[in-house]
């Protein structure tokens, strides 16, 4: 039975690495996969999923306007499709999460989503909120705070390395922009 999965964490936990490894495992066994990533995230180039350890792969891009059920259905019509992997799943809209649930339920294709749970202000992303509500399986990918405790929060830094408390929910960036912290040190705004 196909399921909708949500693998979530804070920044720099290795979500993209886990996604790329899982897709490779499918392909190594002769199965066909399709990778999707948000058009808004072009840090590695448009339509590229890349990990900090150097792995990367091409992916279809989605925007908030993309009908993901129609997209996957069209892909399946043209060729066999054994699994769909979605990176940057926090950027999905709620309707898109329902569309991905429909891919699992009606097309019987497993959908594995990877993304952030919360933003730098500790608020759920819309896509993450919908995935937490609808996914059949939830899995936390763990990373650690500077203190050694599990990091569940992310702080956004300004150009001087100070923690920002206000701003747009979405600002694309990596280790130079975001740092993962445990809840205690996120709340205290303590970087070390």
Q: What is the full per-residue pLDDT of the chain (192 aa) written as tens digits? A: 899 999 999 888 889 899 999 999 999 999 999 999 998 877 767 778 878 788 878 899 999 999 999 999 999 988 889 999 999 999 999 999 999 999 999 999 999 999 999 988 899 999 999 999 999 999 999 999 999 999 999 888 888 888 888 877 776 665 667 889 999 999 898 888
Q: What is the length of the chain?
A: 192
Pairing of β 178-181 and β 33-38: unpaired
Tokens representing residue 95 in the block: 């309707």
Q: What are phi and psi of 108, to 5 degrees?
A: 60, 45
CATH architecture for residues 4-142:
3-Layer(aba) Sandwich (3.40)
Question: Cα separations (Å) of 68 from 109, 110, 151, 173?
Answer: 13, 14, 31, 25
> 3-state DSSP: the chain helix, strand, coil percent, rounded to 5?
30, 25, 45
Q: How far apart are CA 75 and CA 23, in angstroms?
A: 17
**Which residues have a catalytic role annotated?**
88
């Amino acid at each position: 039975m196909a399921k909708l999965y949500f693998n979530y964490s804070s920044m720099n936990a290795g979500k993209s690495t886990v996604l790329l490894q899982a897709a490779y495992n499918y392909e190594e066994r002769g199965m066909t996969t399709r990778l999707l990533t948000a058009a808004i995230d072009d840090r590695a180039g448009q339509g590229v999923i890349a990990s900090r350890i150097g792995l990367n792969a091409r992916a279809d891009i989605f925007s908030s306007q993309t009908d993901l059920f129609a997209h996957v259905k069209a892909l399946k019509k043209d060729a066999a499709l054994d699994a769909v992997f979605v990176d940057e799943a926090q950027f999905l809209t709620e309707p898109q999460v329902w569309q991905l649930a429909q891919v699992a339920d009606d097309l019987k294709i497993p959908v594995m989503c990877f993304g952030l749970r919360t933003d730098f202000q500790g608020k759920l992303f819309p896509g993450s909120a919908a995935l937490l509500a609808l996914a059949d399986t939830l899995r936390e990918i763990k990373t650690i705070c500077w203190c050694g405790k599990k990091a569940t929060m992310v702080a956004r830094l300004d150009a001087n390395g100070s923690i920002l408390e206000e701003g747009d929910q979405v600002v694309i960036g990596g280790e130079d922009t975001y740092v993962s912290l445990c809840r205690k040190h996120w709340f205290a705004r303590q970087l070390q």
